[in-house]
Amino acid sequence: MMQRVIRSAGLWAAAAVVLAMAGCGERPSQANAPTAATTQGGTVMIEKATFAMGCFWGSQGTFDKVPGVVHTEVGYEGGTTANPTYRDVCTDKTGHAEVVQVEFDPAKVSYPQLLTVFFENHDPTTLDSQGPDFGTQYRSAIFYHTPEQQKLAAAELVKRDNSGEYVGPLVTRIVPAATFYKAEEYHQEYFQKKGVDYVCHLGNGKKTQTH
C-alpha cells in the first residue's frame, strides 16, 4: 500500500496541540467475542483481531483499506488502569498500548493476511517506539483472541525473524486479548475526519524498504 508519510515536525507539533486541547471521557467497549452479521447473502460470522503498531490513527487508516475488513475501532489494551483516557495512557504509566481492533469477514480476508498487513506497515524491530513516537503505549504487539490466532501469529513472527530481511530482531509481543477500552470519539477515523491520507509509521524495519 503506497501511503504518504508525515515527515514534517511542524505537522506533528500541530497534531500534539490538537490532542492536548481535545476532550476525553468516552466509555469503554469490552466486547471481544466473534459476532454474527446479517447480510443479503445470509448470516456470516465476523471475527476480531487486535494489533498494536504505534500511533493508532495510521493503524486504523491502514486496516480500513483492506477488503474484507468490515469495521475498525481504536482504543487502549493491555494495561492495568480501568477506563483509561488518552491523557492517562500518554503518561506511559497505565501499561496500555494504542491498538486498532479489527472486525473482519474470514471468508474475504484471512487472519494470516491481516498479519501481513500488520508486519508490513510498521517497524517491528523498534522497542516501544514507532517513528517520532516513544513509550510503551507505542509498542508492537499482537493481541490474540483464539488459540488459532496465537499459533498463526507465533509462526509468522518466527518466519519473519529468521528471514534475514530485517535490520534487527523483531520485538513484537504476542499476548492474549485483554479488556479493550474504546478511545475517545475524536480519535476514531481521525485522518478520515481530517480529510488526509497519512500514516504515522516510518518504514517497516526491513533492510530494503517495500514502501
pLDDT per position as a tens digit, 19-54: 333 333 333 333 444 555 544 456 678 999 999 999
Query: Distances in Å between the alpha carbon of 148 and those of 69, 151, 176?
Result: 19, 5, 12
The pLDDT mean for the chain works out to: 83
Residue extents of the structural domains in the chain: 45-199
Whether 55 is catalytic: yes
CA-CA distance, 203 to 189, in Å (whole number)? 22
What pLDDT is recorded for position 89?
A: 97
pLDDT per position as a tens digit, 127-159: 999 988 999 999 999 999 999 999 999 999 999
CA-CA distance, 28 to 75, in Å (whole number)? 8
Mean pLDDT within 85-96: 96
CA-CA distance, 171 to 195, in Å (whole number)? 33
What residue has cell string 496541540?
17
What pLDDT is recorded for position 8?
A: 33
* Sign of the four-CA dihedral 209, 204, 116, 41: negative
CA nearest to 179, candidates 48, 44, 76? 76
What pLDDT is recorded for position 27?
A: 34
CA nearest to 171, candidates 186, 182, 163, 160? 160
The CATH number, out of the four listed (1.10.150.120, 3.30.360.10, 3.30.1060.10, 2.60.40.10), of the domain defined by the range 45-199: 3.30.1060.10
The catalytic position among 24, 55, 90, 200 is 55
CA-CA distance, 173 to 154, in Å (whole number)? 9
pLDDT per position as a tens digit, 108-124: 999 999 999 999 999 99
The model's pTM:
0.80
HSE, side-chain direction, 13 A CA sphere, residue 170: 29
Eight-state DSSP code of residue 166:
B
* Sign of the four-CA dihedral 197, 203, 206, 207: positive
Instruction: With a cut of 90, say whether residue 211 has pLDDT above it.
Output: no
